Amino acid sequence: MLGRYSGEAERYRQLAREGQTPETMVIACCDSRAAPETIFDAAPGDLFVVRNVANLVPPYTPNADFHGTSAALEFGVQALKVRHIIVMGHGRCGGIKAALDPEMQPLSESDFIGKWMSLVRESAETIGANDLLTAAERQRLMERVSIRASLANLRTFPYIAKNEAEGRLTLHGAWFDISTGELWAMDQDTGDFHRPFEGHDFAAEAGQGAAGTGETLAGMLPATKPEDASGP
Ligand SMILES: [Zn+2]
């Protein structure tokens, strides 16, 4: 075997024998620059990941449509019993940019991206119409507003709300700055995003998680200093 597999061969064999038991589920964007396993320096078996355009979570809608993200949530929470769900947005998100720009194609109701991004249409229209903000400010704001919207939608799933209320599940928001490689964490109480404090090495902690310390990736997300809220 070549490449990455050779270095992880024993771990893969163990995972094959024992099955997967990830404690953390990540909802991330399809964007090739925002891969959760890379950002968290996670090993095979650490993260249960679902990726879609702009890392959106639709509201709980049990009907005959095809619900890929909801199916992944169901498996992660009900079968794997993950203890953390991280909604991780990122800078320069093309899906968010499309949602903010009514001129951009494809964005019609009849295409898939347009329909998908209509999950955040109301806030995109409000933010997109705000002339006090620059285009870059609108983009970053929308990236974060959509993370909060997805967290709210997660709580419309009955088993997620129940598990959270009973302390078996914690929801987190995070935003990855592609240009600097920084992972910002959402304050659970205020919804504000804070950059990681100096010397706080997310990747190293994720690496510890990979080694099997149990309290892993998501547990560290709220551990940021509120006073670091300023900045871009
Ligand atoms: Zn994106």
Work out the average pLDDT over 130-152: 97
Q: What is the pLDDT of residues 65-105, one digit of tens each?
A: 999 999 999 999 999 999 999 999 999 999 999 999 877 65
Q: What is the pLDDT of residues 23-55, one digit of tens each?
A: 999 999 999 999 999 999 999 999 999 999 999
End-to-end CA distance of the chain: 43
How many whole angstroms from 91 Cα to the centroid of ligand 1? 7
How many whole angstroms from 22 Cα to the centroid of ligand 1? 24
How many whole angstroms from 34 Cα to the centroid of ligand 1? 8
How many whole angstroms from 98 Cα to the centroid of ligand 1? 10
How many whole angstroms from 143 Cα to the centroid of ligand 1? 9
Q: Which residues contact 70 (CB under 8 A, 6 or more apart)?
A: 58, 60, 61, 157
- Residue 206 pLDDT grade (very low, low, confident, very high; cuts 50, 70, 90): very low
How many whole angstroms from 1 Cα to the centroid of ligand 1? 32
How far are the Cα atoms of 103, 139, 147, 170 from residue 74, in angstroms, in the given order? Answer: 35, 30, 19, 15
> Which of the 8 DSSP states describes residue 8?
T
Q: Is the pLDDT of residue 109 over 90?
A: no
How far are the Cα atoms of 48, 58, 106, 126, 215 from residue 93, in angstroms, in the given order? Answer: 22, 18, 15, 18, 30
User: pLDDT value at position 151?
Assistant: 98
Structure tokens at 80: 């794997």
How many whole angstroms from 55 Cα to the centroid of ligand 1? 7
SS3 labels along 67-131? CHHHHHHHHHHHHCCCCEEEEEEECCCHHHHHHHCCCCCCCCCCCHHHHHHHHHHHHHHHHHCCC
What is the chain's alpha carbon radius of gyration, rounded to the nearest angstrom? 18
Query: Cβ of 118: how many Cβ atoms within 10 Å?
Result: 13
